[in-house]
Chains A and B, each alone.
Chain A
Amino acid sequence: MFYREAGDFKTTYAADQQTFPILFDRRTYYIVLAIALGVMPFVVTDYITNAILLPFLIYAIAAIGLNILTGYCGQVSLGTGGFMAVGAYATYKLMTGFPDLNIAIIVVLSGFITAGVGVLFGLPSLRIKGFYLAVATLAAQFFLVWMFNKVSWFYNYSASGQINAPERTMLGQPVTGAETEPWVAYLFCLAFLIVLAVIARNLTRGRIGRSWMAIRDMDIAAEIIGVNPLWSKLSAFAVSSFFVGVSGSLFFAVYLGAVEVGEAFGIQKSFLVLFMIIIGGLGSIFGSLAGAAFMVLLPVVLKLVMVDSLGWPTDLAAHFNFIVVGALIVAFLIFEPHGLAQLWRIAKEKLRLWPFPH
C-alpha cells in the first residue's frame, strides 16, 4: 500500500542515490518541510515556540552533531555541554565585540570557533579509545565550564558572571532579545536546522562519512584500506563540534537570552544530548531529530497531562517524570537498542508488505 516500489523506476545514478529514493518518503519530506516553513510560522504562539519548538530545533542540531561523532565515527563524547558553552560564549563575545555583525554570521562563526576547540580536544582520540576517550572528553566538559566561570574576560567582567544576549536584528526583525516575535525565532532556528541537517546527511553518505564509518567499524581495518585515522577522527570532531557550537550559540542567543555556564551547560546537558541520540538511534539523522523531539516533548506532555489536566501536585508530577523518562530509557535499551530510527525502519518494512504478511 504505502512504500510501493513497483513502477518506480530509476533511470539515472542521481535518481538512484538520492536521499529519499522512495516516492512516498520524498513526498512526506516535502509536505513536512512545507508545513514547517509555510504553516507553522503563522500559528506558533509564545508558549509553543519557547517551550517546545525552539528547544526541539536547537537540541536537534546538537544531537546531529553528537551523532556524527558518536554514531558515525564511533568516538564517544561526554563534552557536548562544554562545546555548547564554547558556542554560546563565542557568540556573546562576538555580539558584544562587533555590534554591527549580522547575527547569522555570528552563529556560523561561533560554530567555527567551537570546531577549533573540538579539534583540540579531539587530539587525544588518536591515542585513546572507547571509555578512555569518554573520560578525556569529560575532562573537556569540566575544564571548559570551569574556564568560562573563572576567566571574567569571557563574560565581559560582569558582576554576576551571567551573559546576556543584546538585541540583534535580521532583515529588520529582532532575532535575539526580548522583543523577538515567536515566528522569527522559530524560522531562524529552523533555517539552521534544515541547512545543517542537509549538510550532515550529505557528508555522511559521501566519502568523508564512509571514512568515519570505516573508523567506527574497525579502525585497524580502515587504516589498512587507506583511510587516514588522523584526518578522519579530527574531521569528525571538527564537524561535530561545529554543529554543537551552532546549537550552543542558538541556545544562548535565541532561546534563553541569558545563561550561566554551570547551570546551562553542565554535565547534565552532555548526558541529555547523549540520551537523545541513544533513544533516537545512533548513526541516523532522522534518529537525532526523533530523539530530540522525544526528550523535549516528553516532560512537557507529561506535565500537561499530570498537572494541568489531572491536577496533580507539581512535585509529584516532577518526580513521576523522572521515573517515566528513566523507565523509557531502560526499556529502549532492552527492547530496541537501535532507537526510534530502527523502529521507523521496521515500520517501513512492514508497511512495504502490508496488507500481506510476507
Chain B
Amino acid sequence: MKLKKLATVSVAAIMAASPVMADLVFPSLSYRTGAYAAGGIPFADGYADYFTLLNQRDGGIGGVPTRVIECETAYNTEKGVECYESTKGEGALVYQPLSTGITYQLIPKATADGIPIHSMGYGRTSAANGDVFSNVFNYPGNYWHAASGIINYLLDENNGDLNGKNIALVYHNSAYGKEPIRTLEELSAKHGFNLTLLAVDHPGQEQKSQWLQIRRERPDNVIMWGWGVMNPTAINEAINIRYPMEDFIGVWWSGSENDVVAAGAGADGYKAITFHNVGSDFPVFDDIQQYVVEAGLAAGAGDQIGTVLYNRGLYAAMLAAEAAKTAQEIHGVADITAAMMRDGMEALEISEEKMAALGMPNFGPAFTVTCENHGGPGLGAIQQWDAESQTWSLITDFMEPDMDVIQPLIDADSAAFAAENNIEPQC
C-alpha cells in the first residue's frame, strides 16, 4: 500500500514538473526489446531521425519544434496501454504503435479521446473506411491491398491464370497474421487456386512441422505474413527444404534486411511486397547525414540508416509531418491540436512534386486521403533480395490491387463494427 502511495505521488510530481512548451508531440510507441525488436529498432530510429532532421534543418514544422516521446512497448498490449496513457497528456498528435494488437486496443480509446491513429500498412484493415473509423488512418496501403498485390503479381507471372495452383500462407498466429486470410480466400475463389493455411505461434521459432508440410505438398508459391524472429526462421527453414526462393513472397513486414541477411547466400531471390521505395539513394539521406548523424543526434545506434524498416519509419514520419503541415494550413494555427491533426490527415495530399521537394522523389506512391477513404490507393511493388550485393531492389512498378474484391470486404467489416458500436457515419 505504501508503494502505491509513493508511486502515485511520484507520478503526480513528474507530471507537474514536466514543462509546458509549444511543441508538436509525436509519441513513438517503439519496441527496442523482445522478440520483435529487430523490426522495432530501425522503424523507431527512422521515425525519430526524421523529426530530428526537421528540427535541425527547418526549426520544426511551420516554425514549431517537434518532440518525439519514445515509450517502450515490447510489442505487448498492456505496455502499449501504459504508454498511450502516459503520453496522451503531453499533447500527443498522432499514434503509430507499429503493432496490430496495440492498434486494435487503441482504436476505441483514441477515438474517444479525439486523437488520430496512423497504422501504416498494419492494424485493422477495414479502418480504411473513414466513414466509420473517423480517427483511424491506414494509408497508403493495408493488409488486404498487400494480399491482393501479391496475388496480382503471381497472376502476371503465370500469364493471368492461377487456376489449380497451390498457394500456402505461412502466418503469425495472431490478429496480424489472420488479417489477410479473408481476402486470400475470396481471391482463391475468384482465381481458382488452392489456399493452404499454416499458422505459426508466437514468437515463431518453432516452424518445423509447417515446413515439413510444405515440403510434402510442394505448393507452387508460399506467401508469408511474419514479423520478428519468425521471418529469418521461416527463410532458413525454406532453405533447409530447398524451397525455391523465387516462389516465396513475404508481406511488407517480412521483407527487411534482418530477415534475409542471416540466411546468407541461400536467401538470394527472396521476394516481398512493399509500399515504399528501398535504398538510401535519395537526397533526404544527405540531409540526414549532415544534420542528424554528423551532429551526433542519430537515434539508437545510428547503424540502421537506409535499411527497409528505417525507410519505413522515415516515411511514416514524413507522412505525419506533411499531415501536420496540412493541418496548420487548414486551421491557420502553428501549434496544432490532435483534432486539427486529424483534419490534416484527412486532407492529406501526397504528390510527386511534394515528395521531390522533400528530397524523397518516387519514395512512395502519390495519393490523396478523403473523408471516405482513409486507406489510400494500396499500391504495392515487389522487391527482391540480392544476397551478393546485400541489397533489396524493386522488380516491378507500383501496381493497383484488386479493389473489386477488397472494397466489399472493407464495407462489410466496417459495417459490422459500426453496428456493434452504434457509430453514425461521419461523412
Contact = CB atoms under 8 A, between A and B. Distances in A.
A264 B3 contact: no
A51 B82 contact: yes
Contacts of A315: 32-33, 37, 41, 72
A149 B175 contact: no
A301 B70 contact: no
Contacts of B1: 32, 293
A5 to B, nearest CB: 23
Contact of A159 (B11, B32, B182): B182
A160 B124 contact: yes
Contacts of B332: none
A337 interface: no
Contact of B174 (A164, A262, A313): A262
A219 interface: no
Interface in A300-325: 300-301, 303-305, 307-309, 313-315, 317-319
B104 A164 contact: yes
Contacts of A48: 8, 11
Which of A46, A56, A160, A317 is most buried by chain B, counting CB atoms within 10 A of its CB? A160
Contacts of A47: 11, 15, 85-86, 89
Which of A162, A164, A300, A317 is most buried by chain B, counting CB atoms within 10 A of its CB? A162
Interface stretch (B105-113, B263-271, B279-287, B391-399): B105-113
Contact of A51 (B33, B86, B107, B124): B86
Contacts of B202: 262-263, 266
A128 B393 CA distance: 59
Contact of A50 (B81, B176, B179, B199): B81
A32 to B, nearest CB: 6
Interface string B388-427: 0000000000000000000000000100000011000000
A190 to B, nearest CB: 13
B72 A260 contact: no
Nearest to A99: B420
Contacts of A61: none
Which of A47, A48, A164, A315 is most buried by chain B, counting CB atoms within 10 A of its CB? A315
Contacts of A293: 1, 3-4
A229 interface: no
B104 A258 contact: yes
A159 B181 contact: yes
Interface residues of B, number: 53
Contact of A294 (B3, B78, B100, B104): B3
Contact of A55 (B32, B78, B174): B78
Contacts of A177: 108, 421
B112 A179 contact: yes
Contact of A297 (B4, B173, B175, B181): B4
Which of B30, B175, B421 is most buried by chain A, counting CB atoms within 10 A of its CB? B175
Contacts of A264: 77-78
B74 interface: yes
A178 B86 contact: no
B33 to A, nearest CB: 4
B295 interface: no
A32 B89 CA distance: 29
Interface in A61-107: none
A161 interface: yes
A307 B18 CA distance: 13
Contacts of A50: 81-82, 85
Contacts of B76: 263
Interface in B1-32: 1, 3-4, 6-8, 10-11, 14-15, 30, 32
Nearest to A182: B85
B32 A318 contact: yes
A36 B421 CA distance: 32
Nearest to A149: B173
B85 to A, nearest CB: 4
B71 interface: yes
Contacts of B107: 258
Interface string A250-279: 000001111110111010000000000000
B101 interface: yes
B62 to A, nearest CB: 27
A159 B30 contact: no
Interface in A155-182: 159-162, 164, 166-167, 177-179
Nearest to B37: A315
A108 interface: no
B124 A314 contact: no
B38 to A, nearest CB: 12
B318 to A, nearest CB: 23
A317 B72 contact: yes
B177 to A, nearest CB: 9
Contact of B173 (A256, A262, A314): A262
B81 A51 contact: yes
Contact of B104 (A160, A262, A305, A307): A160
B3 A297 contact: yes
A35 to B, nearest CB: 9
A65 to B, nearest CB: 19
A52 interface: yes
Contacts of A167: 421
A55 B80 CA distance: 13
A315 B301 CA distance: 11
Given A47-B15, A293-B3, 10 more contacts: A47-B89, A258-B77, A263-B174, A293-B1, A297-B4, A313-B70, A314-B30, A315-B37, A315-B72, A318-B32
Interface of B: 1, 3-4, 6-8, 10-11, 14-15, 30, 32-33, 37, 41, 70-72, 74, 76-78, 81-82, 85-86, 88-89, 100-101, 104-105, 107-109, 111-112, 124-125, 173-176, 178-179, 181-182, 199, 201-202, 413, 420-421
Interchain residue pairs A-B with the least CB separation, the first 9: A315-B32, A178-B108, A178-B112, A160-B175, A314-B72, A51-B82, A47-B85, A318-B33, A318-B72
10 contacts: A52-B7, A56-B4, A161-B174, A161-B178, A164-B420, A293-B3, A297-B3, A308-B14, A314-B72, A315-B33
